Amino acid sequence: MKFKLVIFTILLSCIAGCKKFLAIDSPANQVTTDKVFLSDATALATLNGILSEMMNSSTQFCAGGTSFYTGLCADELRYYSPGDRDQFFNNAITESVHPYLETNFWNVAYKYIYAANLGIEKLAASTAITPALKDQLTGEAQFIRAFCYFHLLQLFGDVPLVLQSDYRLNEVLPRTPAADIYQQLISDLSSASALLPLQYTNNERVRPTRWAALALLARVYLYTHDWSRAEQTASLVINSGYHSLTATPAAVFLKNSSEAIWQLPPSNVTVNTWEGNQTLPASSSSTPTYLLRPSLLARFETGDLRQTAWVGTRTFQSQLIQYPAKYKVRGNNAPVTEYYMALRLAEQYLVRAEARLEQNKLSECVADLDMIRARAGLAPTTASTSIALAQAVEKERQLELMAEWGHRWFDLKRTNRADAVLGPLKGNNWQPTDVLWPLPVLQLQVNPFLVQNPGY
Amino acid sequence: MHLLLKFYGLLRSGTFFAVLLLFSCKLIAQEISLSVQEQPLEKVFLLIEKQSPYRFIYTSEAMAPSKPVSLQVKDEKIERVLALCFAGQPLQYTISNHHVVVQVKMVPKKEIKDRILQGKVINEAGEPVIGATVSIKGTPLVTITTNDGEFYFPAAPTIAQLIVSGAEIDGTSYTSRDLAPVLIRVAVRINALNETIVKGYYTTTKKDNTGSVGKVTAKQISTQPVSNPIAALQGRTPGLLITQSNGLPGAGFTVQIRGRNSILNGNNPLYVLDGVILNSDNLSQSVGVNINNPFNTIVPDDIESIEVLKDADATSLYGSRGANGVILISTKKAKAGKGKLEANFSTGWGRAGRTLDYLNTQQYIAMRKEAFANDGIQPDNSNAGDLLLWDTTRYTNWKKNSIGHTARTTNVQLRYSGGTTQTTYAVSSSYYRESTILPGDFADQRFTLLTRITSRSLNKRFEFSIQSNYSDELNQLVNQDLSVALQLPPNAPPVYNQYGELNWRENGYPFSNPIALTRQTYTGHIQRITSNGTVSYQIFPALQFSITGGMNNQYFREKGLTPISSQDPAYTPKGSAYFGNRSLQSWNADVQFNYSRKFGHRLLVQGFLGSSWQHSKTEGQLLNGSGYNDDLLLKTISGASIVNATDHYTLYRYHAFSGRFSLSYSDKYILNFTGRRDGSSRFGPGKQYANFGAVGMAWLFSKEKWASSLYPILSFGKLRLSYGITGNDQIGDYQYFDTYQPTRYPFMGSPGLRPTRLFNPSYGWEQKSNFDMALETGWFKDKVQLSVNWFRSLSGNQIIPYTLPGQTGFTSIVRNFPGLVENKGWEFEAGANLLSVPGFNWRTDLNLTIARNTLLRFPGLASSSYASTYAEGYPLGVRYLYDYTGVDPSTGIYSFTDFNQDGIINAADRKILRHTNPSFYGGWQHQLTVKQFEFGLFFQFVKQDGTDLFFSLFSTPGREANEPLEVLDRWQKPGDHAKYQRFTTGTGPAAAASYQTPYSTAAITDASYIRLKNFSIQYLLPQRYLQQWSLASAKLFLQVQNLLTISNYSGPDPENQSLRAIPPLRMIAAGVRLIF
């Protein structure tokens, strides 16, 4: 009897002890969300995390992907060897590249949006964070959210507008009309411009400031045809005193160049920028990955300093080949001298030029255009009529923003010039519906409320 | 009779302990009822045999003088019945181990000292054979061997032909002269029905087992020249499907017991090595060859048996950990006796198995030219360097150069064991080396050391056992499987230039030099220490208490080097290297009370209560170094100019409280109940614990009175049933936490964090119910065994990482889901001793599994993210495919049915459902003994569909890549009906179509095969040599693995179905096995 008692005591204690046995701590190399927003350092790290991730792999939308793939879709780039990229070049995107669109554009953009949404929510609820830092981080999160949505909108058209972190609500959201997304961008960027600091920390132009928010906001106004606000906002940036056009085109893309409004520094420091890493040929004897289309090169006027500074040339097997070379450092552990330029002053001049043109302020438009032309070593524009100036603005944008963040592709679409320009160039491959990429097919399956773009 | 359900509590040490610990009540009285009138004695023996486990051993000569018997007894004990039978007979009898040996009554005075013949019967391993019948031909003399294997005839003729026989012995005859003591060696077969079966926490015999258990014995394992014991299981037991993924040494296997239960979570069985839970996860963090399988650290020769536990009853004691079946590996036990030294040496050769032949230069050049012509592209130096810049007459057989070498194996093993009845010991050590079929000096090497000690007190109430198993495996390989070189153009430049340096280009046109890949090395080093100890004490005769502890530590270090010298100097490359280490520390412990008591003569009650704990922790770091300026610094991370580090950490804990209650009535009716409460740290608060249970029953109907009339035609018959519910927690750790994790790179030197998981505490255990029914029979005194098993399992409450739309910021989240997966099927086993005469024995065994996996229910499938991944009514591996309609004779391009007729072939046209699950599989073994020779022949067969590599990997012939010869059957001009589309350089509509063929019905093809998996010859050295060299046993052997594969499969190997991985090797090994 005594034995039985002992046995059952032992067994009972075994059972009692086991609840505790199973209660494990969170893994040593991870931190639970609630703890993250209890201190300034970890809260700051969440925004650092987004900025680091934006530059951690080569082909995602914010590390070169947008420049390359829209450049192929538009009239800027061609690709050297045949492959999947042909589908972009031929504007004949099939499901075989949907996983690529999904991984490098759709999913990553929404990943940053989620991190931004979660940050905005948790920062608002947290009482432990220093108020100034809270404002800065909230502003950065809003800015990043807007930056991602801007690109999603240009690439895919209407996309689901996700503004909070609860996946149970987010997973069933349908596509939101572009007008509403633009509204949100305006609201986010306005709020961010109020919250973000004016000055760069340590002279490193790598964290978004008020000027980054305003620069993107000016672009949004331009895209939404709110000409006067576009002009005003661009003027705020141009007149801020923090930025100036570099003396020569060659200096534009250096790290912390005076023209930089916001740059992304390398997170993996074996390379400077992924774009430089991808565009520059690997060796003196090898071919570059992307080539500039002759039609683009033909647009350069004689003496355009940008052609010498930004176009790489090489004779390969007795053929002259020309490739984008805004960045000069391929990588291979070279010292970091270049950051990836996300927003720069030259674009603001061009935004304002166009906004002024649309408001019929022709001479002011010319002044802005000539700023850009002068830096390129060109004489003032001879265009004087609004029609001629419209063409001049388009051309200047095409050259100044060549193979840069999809500007050309986006411009062709927003000015409804895609059919006229790309139709003749691409021949039978071109369909008017090609201006938008397809939504990745898996997303349609996962979220039955999404509808595919026409033409796919 | 045997007390069959024997507890030994100390679950950990497998059969080894079982034998020592299990006290078996050998002679539980057996009641017999007889009513005979003037019947011959032999008839009465038969009647007794039918009612009891006793078997009579006699010669016909001895029966000659017997008298008829009249007898009337009811429920009498055997001793009394025998006394009555033999009353007045001129015969005498002795009882030993259920054998009644009947002899002519000896008159004591006839025993003359100098006519004594004595001897000993031993098995191939030199161990005594107990209970064998020894008779002298032509005389009524018969006896059986004692526990030491010895026999004794008080009076024998000068020249006596001794016949040794027994249910488990191949008949052997031996002639003794001049009454000299004799040593007779016999080949012992294990009667499948009496085999001990380890079910983890207790052992039983196959006869009385209520669950579904497959067993592979040391003998089956030892005839196979393999380094990984998992490889030795292929095709050997029904319900177990094993696929080898790569033929490189150390590569892993996918193992599935009775199909996929979980839609998306782990379907891995639980592996237990001598009672210690082994982690089957690959510890490698590299993205290279990724070769290292923990099971490769186990030496096949150390293994006594591997049990595969399949149904709810058999696995119930492992609870949820065994939801996908259990593979129990038991190493060899030590036996009491004088020290015995076993030595084993073998060496072998291996070549790639089935491979494809590729185009020669002429054909390749023609293909490329045709492709350019088809595409209307002018070949120029940039797009057709292989045609214009390279020598177009050169030919290199890249297959031969890359994977065409011969691998060598060396295996040395020593084992010393022995002991007293109180304490036994064993030490075993081995070295194994296997090189590769690649160019270069690569090899996998393994050293192991295994020790064990077992001891028990004189009164046998206290026992303890401790053992430790150390294994050190160093795998030096290439960082990338060289199979990638197979598609190099056959006219690619030579690998070395005229200066003997690596060549990178010819006339400025580059190629990827496969020899460069061999300079990019990978080293994986596993050290595994597995130890366990058990202590048990018999508190009362009926109650035993035991504590078992097991520990498994694995340390894994790996290193991948990319030296500057392996890269094209034109790119001014830098070196890079990664250094990974990962450790697994796990322990498990069990406390148990076992109860066993007999009530009356017929009722045996057994049971236990116990508690189990398991703890496993993995920790690891991966350091990526880049920017090395010098190859000499490559082996140290300090030499890197840029270092990037990531780490890994998981902790898993498991606890269960379990009990078992078992009733056995007259050894005819056996009923088992198991109940348990399992807890796992993989679930959130409130969801950690769940209750599971199982019921198993067996009815040995051959013991029923009505069945006895069928004896000996039907010598054994059992019907067994089991039903149980268990759970699965193989979902990965920490899924319920919402967490941030450091980013891979900091931001401007400051740390970054990224969200890694959504908060999600609401999911709980997956549940699996399992029904199993089997009929097991033995015929003609168990010479033929047939069994058929039907099973059906239903797995519900599935935990699914539900694919989330990317717009949520995540791609998946774990949820419980009312999906239901069914696995059902038939398993057949047949075995027969086809022929057994002295000097010749032929046994064959066949197993066959016909199983089907079906997704029965998946609510809301159509609107879920799995809409095109799964289909109700189809197996889980179903694929949605385009309907391939062949090469369009007018365009020469692959065509597909446009189901929705929208003019575009896209996802909406993937309407055809196909799967690649095997429809049946099995193995067929032959074992032939001819005098001193033993031949083994084992066929493995699988009926299945597989991936057609031509329509997936090779679907764009014409690019700058070599293709198999088969692509010559291509379209060339309108009107052609060809198997493959027109050649293309990889652009235009032909290339677009080739992106779709992998997702079409064209990519599914018959991949059934019959493989002569193993062929072995052994030669047992005759007695006279052995004595000369004081050997107990010596064996020479030749073994061949994967000798022959019969298959219609279009690709290289129907098993791994890959072009990027080396097919399973064809191995041949020769060696010797000595016992001193």
Name the domain boundary from B185, B211, B229.
Answer: B185
Could you give the angle at the alpha carbon of B339 between the alpha carbons of B337 and B341, nearest 5°?
130
DSSP result, B564-620: GGGS-GGG---EEEEEEEEEEEEEEEEEEEEEEEEETTTEEEEEEEEEEEEEEEEEE
Is the CB of B686 inside 8 Å of chain A's CB atoms? Answer: no
* Domain-located, residue B25: yes
**Does B198 fall in a domain?**
yes
Tokens of B546: 């035991």
Q: What is the CATH number of the domain that holds B296?
A: 2.170.130.10
Residue A332 covered by a domain = no
Lookup: tokens for B717: 């018959």
Integer distance in angstroms from the first to the last C-alpha of chain A? 79
Q: Residues, chain B, total? A: 1076
What is the greatest pairwise CA distance in chain A?
A: 110
CATH code of B175's domain: 2.60.40.1120
* Residue B432: predicted pLDDT: 95
B499, with CB counted inside 10 A (0-12, 13-18, 19+), is: exposed
Strands (E) located in B899-986: 910-914, 920-930, 933-943, 945-947
Torsion over CA: A180, A186, A189, A191 (sign): negative
Q: What is the pLDDT of residue B553?
A: 93
Is B40 among the domain residues? yes
Report yes or no on A296 lying in a domain.
Answer: no
The three-class DSSP label of residue B20 is helix
Tell me how many domains chain A contains.
Answer: 1
Q: Is B393 exposed, middle or buried (0-12, 13-18, 19+ CB in 10 A)?
A: exposed
In whole angstroms, what is the distance from residue B241 CA to residue B269 CA?
11
Q: B331 and B226: one domain?
A: yes
Among residues A143, A140, A145, A60, the alpha carbon closest in space to that of A108 is found at A60
10 Å CB burial of residue A218 (0-12, 13-18, 19+) is: buried
In this structure, the answer to whether residues B312 and B213 fall within a common structural domain is: yes
Is B903 near chain A, with CB under 8 Å? no
Helices (H), ranges, B644-770: 705-708
Taking the C-alpha atoms of residue B957 and residue B980, their distance in angstroms, rounded to an integer, is 9
In DSSP notation, B516-533 reads HHHTSEEEEEEEEEEEEE
* Confidence label for A248 from pLDDT (cuts 50, 70 and 90): very high
Q: Is A308 within a domain?
A: no
Q: What is the rounded radius of gyration, in angstroms, for the C-alpha atoms of chain A? A: 25
The C-alpha atoms of residue B589 and residue B352 are separated, in whole angstroms, by 44
A424: left (phi over 0), alpha (psi -120 to 50) or beta: alpha
Cβ-nearest to A96 among B619, B626, B995: B995
Q: Which residues lie below 8 Å from residue B434, measured CB to CB, with a gap of 6+?
A: B227, B249, B350, B407, B408, B409, B443, B444, B445
Asked if residue A378 belongs to a domain, the reply is: yes
Q: Given this model, what pLDDT does residue B1076 score?
A: 86
Whether the Cβ atoms of residue A140 and residue A117 lie closer than 8 Å to each other: no
Instruction: Give me the amino acid identity at B106.
Output: M
Q: What is the DSSP letter of A254?
A: B
Instruction: Report the alpha-carbon distance of residue B165 to residue B238 in Å, rounded.
Output: 31
Q: Does B811 touch chain A (CB under 8 A)?
A: yes
For residue B331, being part of any structural domain is answered with yes
Tell me which residue has tokens 């059902």: B824
Q: Are residues B202 and B316 in the same domain?
A: yes
For residue A275, is it within any domain?
no
Greater pLDDT, A214 or B574 = A214
Question: The tokens of B932 are what?
Answer: 């001193």
Are B356 and B946 spatial neighbours (Cβ–Cβ below 8 Å)? Answer: no
Whether residue B145 is contained in a domain is answered as: yes
- On the question of pLDDT at A4 being above 70, the answer is no
Identify the CATH number of the domain in which residue A197 sits. 1.25.40.390
User: Are B180 and B200 part of one and the same domain?
Assistant: no
Instruction: Report if residue B17 sits inside a domain.
Output: yes
Q: Which of B166, B185, B204 is the last residue of a domain?
A: B185
pLDDT number for residue B110:
47
Residue-wise pLDDT tens digits, A360-403 = 999 999 999 999 999 999 999 999 999 999 999 999 999 999 99
Amino acid at A258: S
- Domain match, B169 and B31 both: yes
Q: Is residue B1 less than 8 Å (CB to CB) from chain A?
A: no
Of how many residues is chain A composed?
456
In angstroms, rounded to a whole number, what is the distance separating the alpha carbons of residues A319 and B316? 73
B558–chain A nearest CA distance, Å: 21
Q: Which of residues 557-576 of B touch A (CB under 8 A)?
A: 568, 570-574
Tell me which residues of chain B, numbers 1000 to 1059, contact chain A at a CB-CB cutoff of 8 Å: none
Which residues have a Cβ under 8 Å from the Cβ of A131 and sit 6 or more positions away? none
How many CB atoms sit inside 10 A of residue B479's CB? 22
ipTM: 0.90
The pLDDT of residue B736 = 82
Can you spell out the DSSP letters for B194-257? G-EEE-SSEEEETTT--S-EEEEEHHHHHTS--SSTTGGGTTTSTTEEEEE---STT--EEEEE
Residue A167: which of B685, B804, B987 has the nearest Cβ? B804
CB-count exposure of residue A225 (10 Å: 0-12, 13-18, 19+) = exposed
Structurally, chain B folds into a number of domains equal to 2
Strand ranges of the sheet holding B303-309, from the earlier edge strand across to the other edge? B213-217, B303-309, B326-331, B270-273, B276-278
Among the candidates B306, B321, B336, a domain finishes at B336
* pLDDT < 70 positions in chain B: 1-30, 97, 106-114, 125, 167-168, 170-171, 188-208, 287-292, 954-955
Domain containing residue B226: 194-336
Mean pLDDT of chain A: 91
Query: What is the least distance, in Å, from the CA of A379 to any CA of chain B?
Result: 39
> Is B759's Cβ below 8 Å from some Cβ in A?
yes
Q: Are residues B101 and B45 in the same domain?
A: yes
Range of A190's domain?
33-270+338-425
- CB nearest to B627's CB, from A49, A81, A333: A333
User: B612 in contact with A at a CB cutoff of 8 Å?
Assistant: no
Token match 């079929």: residue? B437
Task: Report if residue A284 sits inside a domain.
Answer: no
Q: What is the per-residue pLDDT for B170?
A: 65
My answer on whether B165 and B258 are in the same domain is no
In a domain, A24, yes or no: no
Phi and psi at residue A221, to the nearest 5°: -60, -40
Chain A residues within an 8 Å CB radius of B593: 7
Q: Count Cβ atoms below 10 Å from residue B18 Cβ, excluding itself.
A: 22
User: 3-class secondary structure for B42-108?
Assistant: HHHHHHHHHHCCCEEECCHHHHCCCCCEEEEEEEEEHHHHHHHHHCCCCEEEEEECCEEEEEECCCH
DSSP letter string, B906-931? SGGGEEEEE----SEEEEEEEEEEET
Residue A436, in any domain of the structure: no
Residues B181 and B67 in one domain: yes
Q: Do B747 and A10 touch (CB under 8 A)?
A: no
Which pLDDT value is given to residue B24? Answer: 31
Same domain, B98 and B198: no
Q: Pseudo-torsion of CA B492, B497, B501, B503, nearest 10°? A: -30
CA distance A136 to A47: 10
Residue A48: list chain B partners with CB under 8 A: 743, 746-748, 750-753
The residue in chain B having the minimum alpha-carbon distance to the alpha carbon of residue A87 is B992
Give residue B460's Cα distance to chain centre.
35
Residue B767: inside a domain: no
Helical packing angle, B41-51 and B78-86, nearest 10°: 180
Instruction: Say what the pTM is.
Output: 0.76
Q: How many helices (H) and strands (E) does chain B have?
A: 13, 56
Taking phi first (over 0 means left), then psi (-120 to 50 degrees means alpha), and beta for anything else, what does residue B494 get?
beta
SS3 content of chain A, % helix, strand, coil (to 5): 55, 5, 35
> Is the domain of B204 the same as that of B161?
no
| Residue B319: C-alpha distances to residues B326, B658, B792 (Å) | 10, 9, 18
pLDDT band for position A415 (50/70/90)? very high
Residues of chain A with Cβ-Cβ distance to B539 below 8 Å are 3
B203 in the same domain as B326:
yes
Closest Cα in chain A, distance from residue B738 (Å) = 6
Q: Answer whether B333's CB lies under 8 Å from B674's CB.
A: no
In a domain, B738, yes or no: no
| Pair (B264, B156) in one structural domain | no
Identify the three-state secondary structure at position A347.
helix
B712 cis-preceded (ω within 30 degrees of 0): yes
